[in-house]
Structure 1
Amino acid sequence: MSHKRFSLNTSTNLRSSLKLLNVDSSKYSGDWDSFPHSHMYAELFYVLGGKGKFQIDQEFYPVSPKQLIIINPNVLHTEISYQDSPLEYAVLGIEGLELSDYTECDNRFRILDFNEGDDITTCLRNIIQETTDNLPGNETISQAYMEILIVRLMRRINFTLNTTPLPTSSRQCAIVRRYIDAHYKENITLEQLATLSHLNKYYLVHSFKEEYGVSPISYQIDRRILESCALLTQTDMSLSQISQVVGFSSPSYFSQTFRKNKGMNPTQYRKTKSNQT
């Protein structure tokens, strides 16, 4: 009988240090506004089709299909499509990842060429398929494919992996909070806020709750109620006018939400505050 046993070094397990935050796929259209931005996490862009260029700080680099662009955290970048050959790409946002190179290459980013059917592109396409199908367990499977992708990448090129403590999301949450403060009267969706913060919407809700004690949408409602309290005590506006000004869809919904938040309806609140003055 022949028998072999291999001991595994679990101290190198990526699962405890890397997190797949978001998976996006995009295709250029005429309304695409491209502007330089950065993230507190790494991004992997895979060009599926079309041609364009990548801006890194103030420099520009041509990109084409079957190329993978690795952007390290906090690097200013954006993608620019050619009108006659619209860019189509998939992007992974990975927290806790930073790729470094011992050669003289630029450590801000790398542009790599891969063939269709390559094991790395297969992992990318499997992640896209999982998130598109959105079946139960897709986040677990996508996370596993991401970990395989990173290991394969490290085997293929002269990169080392720096796994750092997961950076705080306080900055992104603060951006979302400021946006809500400025636009609380408008119809804001989690999808909008996730795009604004470059976070998965479920991760955004979790992080925002940890930071401020409520979800982003609950914070928006609280902000509307706070403004309505000021209008109730400082103006003679009707409940219908106030509900419209602060962004509620109807006076009845405004009264219902106000009662739930303050323990009394708007009329009672106005009377109570009036008697106190």
Structure 2
Amino acid sequence: MKKEKVIVMGEINTEAFPTLVYIGKVSGNPNWKLPSHSHEDVSEMVFISHGEGLIKIDGQPYVVEQGDLLIYNRGIVHEECSSPICPLNTYYCGVANIKSGYNIIPEGAAPHIKTEQYADKMNTIFSFLYEESSNKAAGYEMISGTLLLTLITLIQRMVHKEEELPAKDPEELAVQLRAFLDQNYLKHLKLTDVANAFHMNAYYLSHVFKKRYNDSPINYMLHRRMGEAGRLLLNTNMRINEIAEFLGYDNANYFTILFTKTMGESPTKYKKNEKRQRVNVLE
């Protein structure tokens, strides 16, 4: 199944104003995937309206789900793959002539955004933008331009919110830290990296997290990676070395050792035992 794309502008506007170059959608194809590619003249926004998938942005893997937003600034290499169990439904659009030099988000900002309370609004705006661009009724350019500006403004608001310093209250800080780890567990961060992101002392952060969750931040991320490995073993046809590579492990044997230590059995035995006990009702 190919992407459904609507070309909005034949040529990119040279004025310093956001221009919608194209908009499209992907609709529930379990076999859908796009290999590594980039866009040199546009930035791209992708909104997950339903389903799950695996996305790599600039070499960094992300597990995405409904309500997630992905931003590919121009020139950033990315690849996309839908889950065969819960296929992706997405809206995507290409944007040019953004004031910040064609970039939707600042350099260094997280390209994977949890829209949370804005999810319904984002879905409505993308849907309306796709409809207007497809029908091209009178005044669609003005409406599309306004909707595009609204999207970009909301995205920049969410990025700004993520950059704000966390609360000082230890309980709230621990919750914020866990949310950060849940979003970044595939990055193989060191404790100092996490501390730098929060502008706080590494020892204090670790202490606060362990007091709240009885686990260290690094061990928590390891368990999240191995849990994702287990999900991929059961729900995809990926080989062990492919899963290891996706999760950021160059050495499949080292990954197998970590998986066995964390999950109590090797990846092969885990897959065999779990599938033996599972009943697939829809088959």
TM-score normalized by the length of structure 1 = 0.45
Instruction: Tell which structure's C-alpha radius of gyration is larger.
Output: 1
